[in-house]
Amino acid sequence: MMNPSSLARAAARQHSRQALTTLAALLCAAGCAVQPAPEPAAVAKAQRIGHVVVIYAENHSFDNLYGLFPGADGVANATPEQATQLDHDGQPLKELVTFGRDGKPDPAYPRMPNRPFRIDAPPVSRTTSDIVPSPIHAFFHNRDQINGGKNNLFAAMSQVGGWTMGYYDGSQLKQWQWAKEFALADRFFMGTFGGSYLNHQYLICACAPLDPDAPESARAKLDANGRLALKPGSPSANVGAVQVVNGGLVTDDGLSVNTAQPPWQPSGIPPAEGGPADDADPKGAPGFGKPLPQQRMRTVGDTLSAKGVSWAWYAGGWNAALADGRQPPSARRSVIYARDDSSPMFQPHHQPFNYHARFAPGTADRAEHLKDGEDFLRDIAAGTLPAVSFYKPAGRFTQHPSYTDLKSGDEHMADVLARLRASPQWQDMLIVVTYDENGGYWDHAPPPSGPGWSDRLGPATRIPALFIGPSVKRGHVDHTTYDTASILKFITLRFGLDPLPGVRAKTGDLTAALQ
């Protein structure tokens, strides 16, 4: 029998969970509680689409890859306020300095004037085949960097300093050519502040996971202005990388906003010694903490299945990662977070359905809907893709800075697009190629704000989005305002699904890109 204090703690946790469930449903109460009725023309356009394919790449802002795209709102349109980076005291930086892993200026990178600069041109001269630094991309850091839409604290709030201001001439990329032929959206914003983990969750539910029992040590430390509290003596961005007291994994009220590991394999946390091979050790693992509690929010998978619409989440390296994750904890992992030349570099926190109870090991829904990347390629060739397909390339091909390059992922995704174009299902297909988040890179466009456009989660920095298919406008730059949940809005419109409450009311539904 539980003692009175244990009972009290249990009751408090239950109350906390109930309160958070209510909170999660009301996160965007000002903007998305009531969805406007779609226009008949939009419905008609959507009905021409029989198959939706979403390809989800990694960690680049719009300006970083498409800032030179003809006809798009690119780098040249940045105002002096947006382009000039400030220090923590509100003063312009003297120059842009790239910091290394030690937080000090990295001699491998030149000091640059305080403005956006080309990564692939002198004096930086890095190619799309090079591995480059990965700017921090975390919830509170990103929110502070945006600075109310001014976008002028990216360098000051990054561990790599001025590197955040770099961009490429993307015309050398194969995906650029697909964008020229079909449609490129230049006002598509990542759904929520922060990194890959939260934006993957947002892609499937327009929500944040819940972790009501997270310890105090996991909660972000903010100052009186609601910004990340800096450590005493945190250096100027002219000389060293920012130091914060605690960037936090969760908010004060228990929203899980920075990377947590799934409770099941594949997970960064191995099984417990002698425990179920499919489970992550509930006690956690060094460097990863405890796994996130299994989630029960409603996802697009739930709404699709409720209407009998076929769908799948395909992940490159999924089967290999499952086998890798089910090994005893003493075994060395060669797939999950492994950077060996032969590894797919599988990233468990990029697999959002693996956090949700409906898709736990042994369930019918897991077997039916969570599939390997090789299954995706076979289904493309056979013309047996479901009505809705999400494809997450293996880490090696996501274009994520620090552990892979731009060129490898560009070639991989261009090959996938060519296969889709040759598929028997091409004629009624809409392909969306987009990025989970900006990877900490600067972008000049301020995110939309106000009722119906924004809530406490975002939207955040602008990211690339390509729309491809026979029904897409050709040679088109789409200036409609979208965010990540616009994908959910389109899927909901096309298949007559029950709307997810977190989808913002005013964000576009993708039909403006269709003929």
DSSP label at residue 311: E
pLDDT at residue 11 is higher than 80? no
Residue type, 77: N
d(CA 243, CA 265): 33
- Residue 12 pLDDT greater than 50, yes or no: no
Residue 36, pLDDT score: 78
Mean pLDDT of 479-506: 97
% residues pLDDT > 70 (the chain) = 93
Of 170 and 2, the one with more pLDDT:
170
Residues 6+ apart with CB under 8 A from 1: none
Residue 35 pLDDT level (bands cut at 50, 70, 90): confident
Given this model, what pLDDT does residue 4 score? 36
CB atoms within 10 A of CB 323: 12
Interval 290-311: pLDDT, tens: 999 999 999 999 999 999 999 9
> What average pLDDT is seen over the chain?
93
Residue type, 322: L
Tell me what pLDDT residue 304 has: 98
User: Quick check: 459 and 165 in contact, CB under 8 A?
Assistant: no
Cα–Cα distance list, 150 to 86, 147, 418 (Å): 10, 5, 39
Residue 141, pLDDT > 70, answer yes
Residue 33 has pLDDT above 90, yes or no: no
Rounded Cα distance between 509 and 87, Å, is 38
pLDDT at residue 136 is higher than 60: yes
pLDDT at 19: 43
pLDDT in tens, 97-109: 999 999 999 999 9
The CATH topology of domain 39-78+169-211+260-513 is Alkaline Phosphatase, subunit A (3.40.720)
Q: What is the mean pLDDT of residues 479-500?
A: 98
Residue 21 has pLDDT above 80, yes or no: no
Structure-token pair, residue 221? 């430390």
Q: What is the mean pLDDT of residues 107-116?
A: 97
Of all residues in the chain, what percent carry a pLDDT higher than 90? 91
Res. 78: pLDDT tops 70: yes
The string of pLDDT tens digits covering residues 241-285 is 999 999 999 999 999 999 999 999 999 999 999 999 999 999 999
Q: Tell me, what's the pLDDT at 42? A: 86
- Confidence check: pLDDT of 30 > 50: no
Q: Which among 335, 415, 429 has a CA at the least distance from the CA of 385? A: 429
In sequence order, the 6+-apart residues with CB closer than 8 A to the CB of 378 are none
- Position 27 scores a pLDDT of 47
**Which residue has better confidence, 23 or 170?**
170
pLDDT(7) > 70: no
Per the model's pLDDT, the better-predicted residue between 92 and 39 turns out to be: 92
φ, ψ at 71 (rounded to 5°): 85, -5
**Is residue 14's pLDDT more than 50?**
no
Contact (CB, 8 A) for 258 and 198: yes
**Tens digits of per-residue pLDDT, 426-435?**
999 999 999 9
Stretch 82-109: mean pLDDT, rounded? Answer: 97
Q: Which two tokens stand for residue 106?
A: 């990295």
Q: What pairing do the DSSP bridges indicate for beta strands 476-478 and 183-185?
A: parallel
Cα three-residue angle 484-489-495, rounded to 5 degrees? 135
Q: What is the pLDDT of residues 338-388, one digit of tens each?
A: 999 899 999 999 999 999 999 999 999 999 999 999 999 999 999 999 999
